[in-house]
Chain A
Amino acid sequence: MSYVPDELKYTSSHEWVQKTDQGTFRVGITEHAQEQLGDIVFVELPEVESSYAEGDEAGVVESVKTASDIYAPMAGTVVAVNEALEDKPELINESPYDDGWIFELQAEDEAEFEGLLNADDYRALIAEE
């Protein structure tokens, strides 16, 4: 079973979401997702200041094998992106929950965070796959 940190929230499309000390929401893909993709070679980051509804395509992660969309887990505006991924997309393989974060959102409605999957829900989800 892939590592699923207890303190994060999750989506059924395999993003993780973390509330930062600044009150923004940091987004990446889970260890399970990066394992499924294999060696990641390119990340198309969203643009800072772009806005998304919940479930909108906000970026793309491409491995040698395939391309996978990244969805906005909550409605909001992008306030930061992880530019290190432009030169080192493999950070997502090496450190999916830390150095491999993808973007940060200023949420429109912070209550949406509570509606995301918790770690146990997400573990159950990937166990079924």
Chain B
Amino acid sequence: MKMNMIRRIFSLMLPAALVAVGCAEKELPVLEQPSAEQTKLATKCLNSSERAEEGTLLLYLDDAVALQLAAGEGTAQWEEACAALGVEYVEKVFPNTSDELSQSLGLHRWFMVSFPDETDVVKAAQLMADLADVDAIQFNTSIERRFGSEAPIPWTPFQQEGHGEFNLPFNDPMLVDQWHYINNKDLSVAQTSRTGADINVKNAWGLTAGDPRIIVAVCDEGVKYTHPDLAANMWVNAGEIAGNGIDDDGNGYVDDIHGWNFLSTEKYPKEISWNEPGDVSHGTHVAGTVAAVNNNGIGVSGVAGGSGNGDGCRIMSCQVFSGSSSATVAARARAYHYAAQMGAAVLQCSYGQEAGLLTSDQGFESSYTVEIAALRYFRDYGNQKNGSPVNKNIIVFASGNDGANISGYPAAHKEIISVSAFGPDYLPTNYTNYGPGVNISAPGGDVSINLTSHSERAQILSTTAVESAQYDSNYGWMQGTSMACPHVSGVVALGLSYALKLNKTFDYDEFVAILYSSVNDLDYYIETCSKQANGVTFDLTPFWRKMGTGAVDTWKFLMNIEGTPNIVTKVGELSKVSLVPCFGEPAANLTYTKLEIDDQARETLGIEGEPYINNGRLFIKCTKYGSAKIRITAIAGGDNVATDAEMGGSEFTREVSLLSRDSIAENGGWL
């Protein structure tokens, strides 16, 4: 398997370059005092070399030189530098950058140079920084595997009284154990289990269980695409003929049937894998939560896994972790670009930097320029290929498992949905990140609340890549914001599926606002509560109003997709109208930043004074009977809107229909 996008620009000069390697080490300056090279590097280098991959550098080149290199030509100065460095390969970070969006984001100007691993990567960067045609240098740093090295706990048969009432919509035998979908206060999961501490998907499946036109790109370890509970929902590249060694669809990747292993390079080609030493089924587990095949009589259910009639959303495996190999910037960026061009509508990413390493969007953007550009490419590529009912694509990241009071990056970025985790007790877990940057919450499992012999049952049950004859070891338990994240991705996929079914289209901001509004109130439980975690009292007060807008609710999401919310006000007096119908249960705990009522609406409704919002209520005096649209903006996650320099929540705006009439209760009830 090869990536034919890779241009062996220097293949002819390779022998000479290899010979030069030994010399290159000698020729590179010894850096003890700040030198001119260091100074130049400082002006061009975007990030720290900490955790930089050996043997590669990412270069952002002058436009004209980028064009030359793409055509297989290099300037004399460039070739000289490459020879000195012993460059083995030069490849475009992104293949297929001829489209306008790639060009506008400068993706065509990113190149990766590969050189012998023994060469000091900082010295290599200094050498390349000398080139006038190199506008910026990014070390190809990796995100460490932060989901641990432990394999999932295998599912085993469990017979115990205590299951709540179940009337399951699908015949998947393990669905009864998936409290994260249907939580009926199952005491065999946890003694503190709460009814409704789930994603409220059961009835939603009656409206839609998915749509094969909606593709979710799982950026993670490789997904075990042969898994019996995943295979039917794997995305298949219709333009590619498996195993013929030809890039049939001309997308730059040969034999990419279910996705691609983005750790594969010309130097180290790799196929999608899930059982390398060190793999822990992370990608396969995440994929199962998104869209394990429903109603097929085996294993588990997936959030958007269909109804058993081939109607599940599709999973695209974009592998960026493998065994002990971490996701490099280049791998991640390529994966996002590929996912967009191949039609994914949702990007599911359960990884990120440790919380606190980056503390502003600006910091992330300047350090990970190529990554943010690729993420924006994915989002803005929109529905050119996938027929999504939303004009832009959706990016979902896990907030991180540091137990920190800020989200990790990239999740924390204001253009990305950051997901925190709660347990079967409807309370924040002891590992989840919370606070600025976090937008919404979902079940992530919490083994710490359970001190019984089957404590794993408080984790998330999904598909695994483990192959063993013991019981049915294709399934297992894991926990983390990594597990919460795919719940939200699955819910988003269901929402897109439902919009397709209703033949409705949405603007991106509107769709995300609907998601943030379709939640249940976690703060109600958090406010006066602590919980036991590993037998120790765990104070929950820091989490109050810090888990995004609340716990994602699939049913409410689909209901909200059906139509614009309405609120009703009483004509002739100052009304204080509840915003719960528009912003969900947590309306009173949200921070509102904007109330937009245009002149026409003011005239139609005869609005007197200046309306305002307080404690989740709209205070407004209408003097005329009428109906008009208004817009209300709130913050998803905390009190402050993220700026480039400071972390915070994401603003989201809901358009609301306002009707003024004779009579209405304060909560909007007609009687």
A complexed with B = no
Report which B residues bind A (CB closer than 8 A).
none
A contact residues vs B (CB 8 Å cutoff): none
